[in-house]
Structure 1
Amino acid sequence: MSVEKQQLNEQFNELKAQFSAQPYPDIKQRIRLLKQLKSQLIAAQDALTDACSKDFGYRTSFDTILGDLLPTVKAITDLINHLPTWSRASKRAAGISLWPSKVLVNYQPKGVVGVVAPWNYPIQLALIPVVTALAAGNRVMLKLSEYTPHTNAVLQQIVAQSCAKDVTLVEGNSQLAAQFTSLPFAHLLFTGSTHVGKQVMSAASKNLTPVTLELGGKSPVIILPDANIKTVAKTLLFGKLTNAGQICVAPDYVWVPETMQHQLIQQLCELYRKHFKQGVEAKNLTSIISAQHYQRLCDYLHDAENLGGQIINPLTVTQQDALKHRLGLHLITNVNEQMKVMQEEIFGPVLPILSYRELGEAVNYINDHAHPLALYVLGHDRTNIEYISQVTQSGTFAVNDMLMQVTAEQVPFGGIGESGMGHYHGIEGFKTFSHARNTLLSGKFNPRIGLLLKQYPLLVKLLTWWYLRK
């Protein structure tokens, strides 16, 4: 056994022993833990902002505060406010066959939960699963991304000062991640690519560990003929340039009516020149996380151009800086399916634009490909919106907005098909990390047992009449 594997086992066993010693932390204790973590998180906001910027090479404070820190604090506040209600036993109807007993569903902690966090939102996507699992009464092992060492160091301090006995943080490369996912967790949540998600699910299956997979895929945008093209351009730029497009629900490609394509490109370029006129030197543009991912995006652009795509650069100044791995907005037209940019999740400020004559062309294309994590519709025709909603499947669905559906605390977040399985956020998250225990309560007076033991004919006739009547 490797040193890393042995250490992981020891950390897991220590948390398991902690859970065995207190398998059901009371609700006040859980809330107290969440408040401590929230307090430490708020106190460390400047340190986290600086650390994230170092990890990315440069990251705007907007992307860290609005995209990472605030959603995490909001999620903790929501858990604190709703936990007393969510954790109550749920009364269910027992039915005549179980009279005079009562039936309940009790929500129990599962045990030691594993969380594998990605690099793109190293605060939110690490801590929201953790705090949700803690709210459900579990202990947590969190595997942090090796791409964000500075942020990880601050998170280590936050955990040490708030919940060190309940949460263990782990850092390491993909090899350690594979060993991590092979541990016999009570539940495992992974956020990352579909390719790696399949490996995670395979590793978890050996221990029959239930998994929640938050993956990605290619999230499409459909622009309807009645859309205001200026508003559409603003929405698209926000969705594509927030965190430099390094978001699992970022728009991956756009379908626009053929007669509106030129207008859309013109508006996108004008808006980009207005808000990002300095290109890669702009202080409101986050860097690509690493030279490796920067090169991957450049390869997509070269591949698209070689296969007949037209690359549109909204600025005359350079839009690429390999040394600082910074990349500005690049639009692609004359798109075809052979291009890598239409086969792989982009995860960067590159936007393919396709046109349609009939709305059904866009819908059929989406349905012929893997279900996306997000589907966006920009326009106001209720008939068309309802049609798209009914005939497509996606993890999330947003109309005339972008990205923000993920920040709604009271609704579940998760994918479908290749974009993931399972949910968290809100009460669905609490239930994901809880065991819903079927509980039957019978008192001193319980004549049913004696009647069943005797196979009493009248009881059989009564139940047969009650349940089999037309």
Structure 2
Amino acid sequence: MNAFTDPAHLAIPAEFTEALAAQRAHFEANRYPSYEQRVADLKQVVRLVADNQQALVDAVNADYGCRSSFETSFAEIAVTLDGLQETIKSLRKWMKPQKRHVDPMRMPLAKARLVPQPVGVVGIVVPWNFPLAMVFHPLTCIFAAGNTAMVKMSENSNHTARLLKQLAARYFPPSKLCFFEDGGGRGPAFTSLPFDHIFFTGSPATGKAVMANAARNLTPVTLELGGKSPAIIGPDYDMAAAAKRVMWAKTLNAGQICTNIDYLFVPEGKTQAFIDHARKAFQASYPDINNGSYTAVIDQRSYDRLMAALDDARSKGATVIELAEGQVPDAARRIMGPKVVVGVTDDMDLMQREIFGPILPVRTYTSREEVARYINERPRPLSMYPFTNDKALADWYIMNTLSGGVTVNDSVLHVSVHSLPFGGIGNSGMGHYHGYEGFTTFSKMRPILYQGPVRSIDFLAAPYGARARKILAMMIRMKS
């Protein structure tokens, strides 16, 4: 059974309902936190992260068994702090009511404004792959918008969950922020709560179940899902540079990133050149795959799934090429060296679902139209990555496909630009967060009209006499 399937009679843990009641009461008592209060909350998150960096890194490492401490510090701690500071700098501007145009002929002396107001209590469902970033990135937007938050961690993040529960209690009252561990089918109960918004990151299959649970309460959802994100190396692009950049992404967190390159297009006849450069790039970055700088696969089930997908590909005619040549990855610690798979076909498991590991299927192509057609015939991906110095070609790929986001001549990095909204489309998700768009996601952008002293609609009110009909006819002519 899917972990988020809602049974007919779902038992909601008392700690969930009690926490929701406390947060609802907190929000009702302070429905519009001031700019100063929101900045204070954001700075308190900064302190929570900055003061406890090593403990957070150690907790994530304990959950993974082997998680590169550098990658945790860079991709989770540093990027989180950067996003918090950017939000603090911009928040006063974001909170200002926006003036909107009112036609003075229709409503003389009236004014229109768009006012961002907090929505209330937000539930966050956190995945295991970036358990810190996927707490603090949405939380930054949620607190900036003036809300409270309840956070449910992944069952693969128990060390991190327990630490965050302890730390949150030191920096915030539970009526503002609280954390929960997973396990025992608690996911459906959490997403069935009548939150004011649910933010979920995970697989498309689980995202559908979360959306169904939320629908019972008409709770709005932001779904950050995954999918098979393609990269395309253009015929003009330097293969050594492309291979280095592709392998940086494919080995970061051992490929366990929702925006990672899931399959690669290379020009016909360039496959071996890519493999040679990819092997050199990996060996230069990881001369010892077992020394702790290379991250493990999260658990045995995932490791076995990846190995089974490779066996399936081999059985159907594909060739698996090991890039950690001359090294023996420690299988007991779930260290898996990166692999390129050539000769893939669509019936292989590797091409049927998101890989979420250090495996890279490679396809060849002869025309850009062939590439775009292949991408467009499949569910819309979370990201797309064209590598080309030809701006016209990059723009052609962008305009003739659709994905959540794009990085040109690299991958993954658009996620770290806080001024860009992040989010998928279709199978890869809905809604945005990061930056201003994250602020609006967790705000009700409330339209307000201030009527003027003269009410022109009186001239069009019943009874509909000759004057009203004449004015209406004139309005229609002016706009025709």
TM range (shorter): over 0.9
Deviations 1:204-225 (A, max 9, x none): 1111111110000001010100
Q: Which amino acid aligns with 2:287?
A: K
Across the aligned residues of Structure 1 and Structure 2, the Cα RMSD in angstroms comes to: 1.7
Gaps of 5+ in 1: none
Distance 2:345 2:184 in 1: 33
**Secondary structure in structure 1 of the residue aligned to 2:232:** strand
The aligned counterpart of 2:6 is none
Matches within 5 A, 1:437-452: 437-443=446-452, 445-448=453-456, 450-452=458-460
Gaps of 5+ in 2: 1-8
Matches within 5 A, 1:7-406: 7-95=15-103, 96-164=105-173, 165-173=175-183, 175-279=185-289, 281-317=290-326, 319-406=328-415
- TM-superposed deviation, 1:357: 1.9
Q: Which amino acid aligns with 1:15?
A: Q
Contact 1:188 1:210 in 2 (8 A): yes
CA separation of 1:254 and 1:230: change in aligned 2, threshold 3 A: same
Distance 2:69 2:396 in 1: 39
Distance 2:176 2:343 in 1: 53
CA separation of 1:302 and 1:321: change in aligned 2, threshold 3 A: farther
Distance 2:98 2:226 in 1: 34
Q: Which amino acid aligns with 1:103?
A: A
CA separation of 1:98 and 1:55: change in aligned 2, threshold 3 A: same
**Secondary structure in structure 2 of the residue aligned to 1:108:** strand
CA separation of 1:460 and 1:86: change in aligned 2, threshold 3 A: farther
Q: Which amino acid aligns with 1:65?
A: S
Distance 2:329 2:40 in 1: 48
CA separation of 1:244 and 1:315: change in aligned 2, threshold 3 A: closer
Q: Higher mean Cα deviation, 168-177 or 214-223?
A: 168-177
Distance 2:162 2:283 in 1: 37
Contact 2:106 2:457 in 1 (8 A): no
- TM-superposed deviation, 1:17: 1.2
**Secondary structure in structure 1 of the residue aligned to 2:263:** strand
Distance 1:463 1:129 in 2: 48
Distance 1:290 1:356 in 2: 35
CA separation of 1:441 and 1:269: change in aligned 2, threshold 3 A: same
Q: Which amino acid aligns with 1:187?
A: H
Contact 2:12 2:190 in 1 (8 A): no
CA separation of 1:38 and 1:464: change in aligned 2, threshold 3 A: farther
**Secondary structure in structure 2 of the residue aligned to 1:179:** helix
- TM-superposed deviation, 1:460: 5.2
CA separation of 1:347 and 1:91: change in aligned 2, threshold 3 A: same
**Secondary structure in structure 1 of the residue aligned to 2:269:** helix
Distance 1:233 1:219 in 2: 17
Contact 1:143 1:171 in 2 (8 A): yes
- TM-superposed deviation, 1:320: 4.2
Contact 2:169 2:178 in 1 (8 A): no
Q: Which amino acid aligns with 1:423?
A: H
Q: Which amino acid aligns with 1:400?
A: N
Identical residues among aligned pairs (%): 37
**Secondary structure in structure 2 of the residue aligned to 1:326:** coil
Q: Which amino acid aligns with 1:38?
A: V
- TM-superposed deviation, 1:6: 2.8
Q: Which amino acid aligns with 1:438?
A: P
Deviations 1:58-116 (A, max 9, x none): 11122101111112111111221111111111111111322221111111111111111
Contact 1:72 1:128 in 2 (8 A): yes
Deviations 1:325-352 (A, max 9, x none): 1111111111111110111101110111
**Secondary structure in structure 2 of the residue aligned to 1:97:** coil
Matched, 1:436 2:445: yes
Contact 2:382 2:428 in 1 (8 A): yes
Distance 2:255 2:73 in 1: 16
Contact 2:250 2:358 in 1 (8 A): yes
- TM-superposed deviation, 1:388: 0.7
**Secondary structure in structure 1 of the residue aligned to 2:333:** coil
